[in-house]
Structure 1
Amino acid sequence: MRLKRSWILLSLPLCLQAVPHWYAHTPDKPQFFYGSGAGGDKESAKEKALNDLASNISVRVSSLTTSTTTRDNSKLDKKASQQIKLVVDSIKFVHVNTDKQECHRDKCYVRVRMDKNMFLNLLSKRYANLYNTLSPLKPTRGCHGIFIKEKRQIQSLLDKMTPLQEILSAYGRASAPLTSYEELIKANSPKPKAQIVFASGADAEVVDALTGQYARFVNQTTAPGFYTINNKIFTSEGNGQFHIGLDINIKNCQGDIIYSKHLNADQGTRGDAIERIKAQAFKQMRNYQNGVGAGTADVNSDNIDF
């Protein structure tokens, strides 16, 4: 019994020695980011080390951002934390080198490192490129608002740029401010403002139906300096069909036409024709918002489905 216990005691240090001494100690070199991982082979150990590296950066940035940024309840919200992690994950394989690796029997240990300046320089370049795309979307002089496509584009860019800015700021890197664009989105939320104009003599029932569709995208205003949705409605009846024609011209705040469509609805009843033209108008607004089919070409109503 004593021999068995002695064998266990003697073999225990040998098992412990299988874990490399360097594995539990991160080097004190602030010019690098480090990550460590262990697995059944070198590939799985390196993958875990890369994930550890990304996690270490994300946690640190989230922690620093929470303490320096005023947010709801003074905390960095969950979405922002997730966005920061996605940014880091997308770059963790760039300029990452294996710093240490060692295998013992069926266990491998890997430590990776990434040059901090290279990482931050790459982020700065990516941020600058996105900012150059963002700048032209700001309202021109004399404009008091943006329209649905511009709002969607600005919001999409802010979603990409905000986590980049958080990371750069956490490590003392300056970046062009986003405040004016964030305020622009806030001022145009939940929907941008626009003038909705119908030509005189338009069918009142069709006007009400279309106004309801436009209200799903914009808040109506009569103030100058906003985009305008101009409408001309044509109605006729014959050969058992009720016809509605609609010309839509979207103008920017300078009065330039930026989107033009002609729509037709021919149905057996007035009510069906109105439903059809409503569906077409909705689709055109949604397409414009999403940047689909932008231009001034007419559309074939037979190809439009709600």
Structure 2
Amino acid sequence: MIYTITFNPSLDYVIQVDHFKPGIINKTKFEEILPGGKGINVSIVLSNLGHESTALGFMAGFTGKEIEHKLESYGAKTDFIHVKKGLSRINVKMKSDEETEINGMGPDIQPEDIQELFNQLDTLTEKDVLVISGSIPSTLPDTMYEQIIERVQEKKIKVVVDATNNLLLKVLKYKPFLIKPNNHELGEIFNVELNTRDEVIPYAKKLQEMGAQNVLISMAGQGAVLVSDNNEVIQSKAPKGIVVNSVGAGDSMVAGFLAGYLETGNYEKAFINGLCCGSASAFQVGLATKEDVENVKKTLSEN
């Protein structure tokens, strides 16, 4: 089973307002409500690709129940911890002449809630995959990533980490199966600017030297690079298409890579699946489906 952890899931209220003006009543032209969070996106895309996953994390109140309901409607399983204090957050994402986001706080996570998550992780086995991604809310210790990975270390679980800066660097000693920074995040780690696929390769190898087994670098329009644990360097330009919405594209790449690897055991096929899955999500409003990914693969082969 693949397990994803989203520490602070949300309901994303996505609205379109023509020529938003502060201080007056503005009316929406379009609106939808979606479950949000990096791990949740991974679970949705895995479900779209035909792979089961269970979404873990913390939820609270009526908004938390709606997150569960919406996620299950996509075919993903949930096993969220129900927090007693506060509400799962609502994030407002307004598209107008300028894009504006207002993110909620989320519930008040207590030590007993954290212990319940640890108890869930204790049931995992070496056959499972654990995806940890996204930021840590203020009610959790900033060592949360480390505590989780250390707890499952002896189980030899494949751990995937999609995080930035210190959150990522501090877990490399645990030798995660896969990490997925983008080229800008990679550049921030080493205080350099990385714009081409060739430029990211030596820095991806440095992350390997620090402990990561496989390093997948997403680069938006420049494509992607994989430095694998068998010393392969696999890279590709981006598939052709018009970017509609980049939110969730990186999460889709993680899901696509995992699906491809679990199906074939082949890093190159997993890489192409991840690249096309990320692009398929970027080329539309919603997250990629299996059909979307196959269509993008055709355009990549035609390039």
- Same-fold call, TM cutoff 0.5: no
Higher helix share goes to which structure? 1
- State the structure with more CA Rg: 1
| Structure with larger RCO (C-alpha < 8 A, sep 6+) | 2
Give the TM-score of the pair, scaled to structure 2.
0.23
Give the TM-score of the pair, scaled to structure 1.
0.22
